[in-house]
Amino acid sequence: MHLPVSLDPLSEQERSGIGVRIESVCSPEPQRMIELGSMEEGSSLIDELIVLTSQSLCQLEIPEHFNIIKEIGRGKYGQVLLVTHRCKGTPMALKVLPKASTQLQGFLREYCISLHLSCHPCIVGLFGIAFQSSEHYGFAQELVTGRDLFAIIQPRVGIPESAVKRCAVQISCALDFIHQRGLVHRDIKPENILLLDAHCQRVKLADFGLTQRSGTLIRYISGTLPYMSPELCAMVLEEPQKQPKSPPLKVEPSLDIWAFAVLLFCILTGFFPWERCNDADDFYMEFADWRGGQSQSSLPSQWRRFTPACMEMFRRMLALDPNERCTIGEVRRYVGKDWVREKDANGWVGVNGDVGTSTPSPCSSSYCDER
């Protein structure tokens, strides 16, 4: 049995029906292969892709068609395998999800959204391969041979500002592309940013398992992560609650803006600004008091290492009211400015008051369930 698909990564021309060709990483007016039109038309295109893929999903057993080299990623969803195709020898990353814990519709949605977005240079590319085996659903992605961003973060140190800015430009462009198509990534974290080199000259955004259309309702989540915004943390279902205290939350790009800001803080410092955005977290409440301007609170100590320009960026990205957060494109306006203060023998230059040594946990890998 041969796979009824090409084993070469999809060319721009082949992807013309599902995306836009980008002439440069952040071209504000990319040359279009087709005119995608409105967000609603983009959503209809994904729906059509889901229907077509479900009708043509081939049945195969992984060991019969692929040489499994090693596991290169694992999460609650399943695993990512480094494989080569037995006939052609093509190396690729195979994402496999157990049927026992994966709904077919969820798998099809992730694959088709990934395919729809894969023409962007800062998003992981796809081969045109989706399949099911007796125990798994799977699809093939381009192989990114470097590590993920999480792997290079030094605890309580971070990575160099220049590398952070290179990441910021590329990921903001990817998110801009996603948001323009009426989608929200919803899982922005260092583990989902793949590096093509050690200095972040080229990075790619991955993992669209939680990506949803703008306007989709979240009814509850069963845990929190430091990247989650306050309105999302309010959806947590605590024991013995049977229903969350808040009404369903509408998915909006502002969720990605907040998560992206926390990610930038994390890779600049090597630690999280807080553990969770609720009143049980002292670090978050200290920031919220300052950001809300409802008291005479001074800037929290762990933020004092940043320049005024950088704090202006964080202030706009981390607005407590999601309607007041800036767009992702506005973040790039700050890249040409200094973000971290210079440091001398006396500490951070220009800082009034101490920069606290008490901080939340170092950046770590985690996940939670959502519905």
* Active-site residue, from 187, 207, 256, 281: 187
Element (H, E) at 344: strand 343-344
Cα–Cα distance between 56 and 267 in angstroms, integer?
42
224, exposed or middle or buried, with CB in 10 Å at 0-12, 13-18, 19+?
buried
Nearest to 26 by CA among 148, 162, 120: 120
Dist CA 16 CA 297 (whole Å):
53
Q: Is 256 a catalytic residue?
A: no
Place of tokens 């309702």: 217
Q: Distance between CA 16 and CA 66 in Å, rounded?
A: 28
The answer to whether 99 is annotated as binding is no
Residue 104 · residue 89 · CB < 8 Å: no
Q: Tell me the torsion sign for CA atoms 246, 226, 326, 287.
A: positive
CA angle 300, 348, 276 (to 5 degrees): 30
Q: At what angle do helices 308-317 and 254-269 cross, to 10 degrees?
A: 150
Known binding positions for ATP: 95
Residues serving a catalytic function are 187
